[in-house]
Amino acid sequence: MTTPIRIDIVSDVVCPWCIVGFRQLEQAVAQTGIDAVVYWHPFELNPDMVPEGENLRDHIMRKYGSTAEQSAKARENLQNIGTPLGINFAFSDDARIYNTFQAHQLLHWAQTFEKSHELKLALFNTYFEQGKDVSNSDVLLDAVASVGLDRDEAAEVLKDGRFADIVREKEQFWTSRGVSGVPTMVFDQRHATSGAQGVDTFANILTQLSQAREAAS
C-alpha cells in the first residue's frame, strides 16, 4: 500500500484563496487518483486586527491601496472562481474581516482528536458562506460542536489559552522559513507552492511526485 503524499498547507481561515486553493487541490486529487493527506498550519493575515474586526471592503482598500470599484471587482472575481469549486462566497457591503488567533488555537486542539481538517473546513464555511464572526467565541464553539467536538472543553481551551504559545511558535516556524503569503502548500516536504495554482498545476505536481516515488522504489 502506497503511503499518501503529505501536503502541508499554511493558511488562515479568513483567506479566500486558501479555500479556493484547497478545493482546487481536492479536485486534483480526485482527477489523478493519487492518495494525499492534508495537514493545516496557522497563519494570521491580520494579527493586529482590532477586536471588532474591519469592514472587508475598507480593509482591502486600505491594505492594498485599491479603489472601491477594484475591491468590488476582486470580490466578484472570487465569487466566479468559487462557484465551480462549490464555494458560495457570501460577500456583501457590510462583510467584515477578523483576527483568527482563537480559531487557530482551537484548530491545534482539534488535532488531538484528528478533527482539525473537519474543523478547518467548518470554519471556512462559517466565515465565507455564512458570513459569521470567526473571532467570536460562541461562533467558534458552534463550529466545534458541528464537527462532533466537545463544546465545553473547547470553551476551556479558549478561556485558559493553553495552546496560545504553541500556535505562536508554529506561526513563527513558517514565517522564519519565508512564508509571507497564504496559502503556501508543501508537497511531500520537498516541493512548495504559493497561492491557488489551479487544478491542472496541482495535478501535475501530484503526478510528478508519484512518478518520482515509483522511480525511486
Segments making up each domain of the chain, as ranges: 5-216
Per-residue pLDDT tens over the stretch 179-198: 999 999 999 999 999 999 99
466545534: which residue's cell?
Answer: 144
Neighbours of 153 (CB within 10 A): 12
Strands 5-11, 54-55: pairing is unpaired
DSSP-derived letter for residue 129 is I
Other C-beta atoms lying within 10 Å of the C-beta of residue 217? 6
CATH topology of domain 5-216: Glutaredoxin (3.40.30)
CA atoms within 13 A on the CB side of 91: 21
Residue 207 Cα distances to 38, 187, 214, angstroms: 16, 11, 11
Q: What is d(CA 170, CA 111) in angstroms, rounded to the nearest whole number?
A: 14
Q: Extract the C-alpha cell encoding 62.
A: 486600505
Q: What string of pLDDT tens digits covers the 217 residues of the chain?
A: 589 999 999 999 999 999 999 999 999 999 999 999 999 999 999 999 998 999 999 998 998 899 989 988 999 999 999 999 999 999 998 999 999 999 999 999 999 999 999 999 999 999 999 999 999 999 999 999 999 999 999 999 999 999 999 999 999 999 999 999 999 999 999 999 999 999 999 999 999 999 999 898 8
Distance, CA of 125 to CA of 113 (rounded, Å): 20
- Phi and psi, residue 55, nearest 5°: -55, 130
Sign of the alpha-carbon dihedral angle for 90, 73, 25, 167 = negative
User: Using CA atoms, how far apart are residues 184 and 11, in angstroms rounded to an integer?
Assistant: 7
